[in-house]
Amino acid sequence: KALAIKKLWQSKSFGNRKALTIENFIMIKPDGVQRGLCGVIIKRFERKGYKLIGLKMLNPTEEILKEHYKDLADKPFFKKLVNYISQGPVIAMVWEGVDIVKQGRRIIGETNPLDSAVGTIRGDFGLEVGRNIIHGSDSVASANREINLWFKADELIQWKNHSTEWIYE
């Protein structure tokens, strides 16, 4: 399976860091795209040392959004949420690197931009929970589920980043 090949490749590339090297699903929501924040958002992950291995722009269907957010189906804001994201377009991405899921949440901030520290994406660029610019998976298990939902195996690009040895010791 593609995932097994990927894991093998990671173990070669990152030596003793392999156990912690994982992937995360990050999505720039329609407000982030409309407000011209794609570049700064991508830069924040890049400059930290994370590696982009998948990226596409799409207009998400209600079907994929209902699956993506299925854990929130009972929430009163669910319909509004699906409507917000389905306006599209979004930028769906997969980022790879050490501890990327937990660190991704730190880069993004809290769910509510008003609770998010300055220096985080939501803390710097947002005001409302229903316009919070970006999605990032909240656990390794949901990252894997979401990557499989949004990307086909051949849409993930395995490439060698030549600065890896200057990012990881």
Selection from 96, 19, 102, 18 nearest residue 51 by Cα: 96
**Contact 23/3 with Cβ under 8 angstroms?**
no
Nearer of residues 7 and 70 to ligand ADP, judged by Cβ: 70
| Residue in the shown chain whose Cβ atom is closest to ligand ADP | 111
User: Is 162 a known active-site residue?
Assistant: no
Q: Is 61 annotated as a binding residue?
A: no
Least distance from C-beta 14 to ligand ADP, angstroms?
27
**Contact 28/41 with Cβ under 8 angstroms?**
yes
Nearer of residues 72 and 157 to ligand ADP, judged by Cβ: 72
Cβ density class 66-105: b for 16+ within 10 Å, e for less: bebeeeeeeeeeeeebbebbbeeebbbbbbbbbebbebbb
Least distance from C-beta 80 to ligand ADP, angstroms?
6
- What is the 8-class DSSP label of residue 118? B
**Residues within the interface to ligand ADP (CB under 6 A):** 72, 77, 81, 111, 129-130, 132, 135, 138
Which is the catalytic residue, given 13, 104, 135, 143?
A: 135
Annotated binding site for ATP: 29, 77, 105, 111, 122, 132
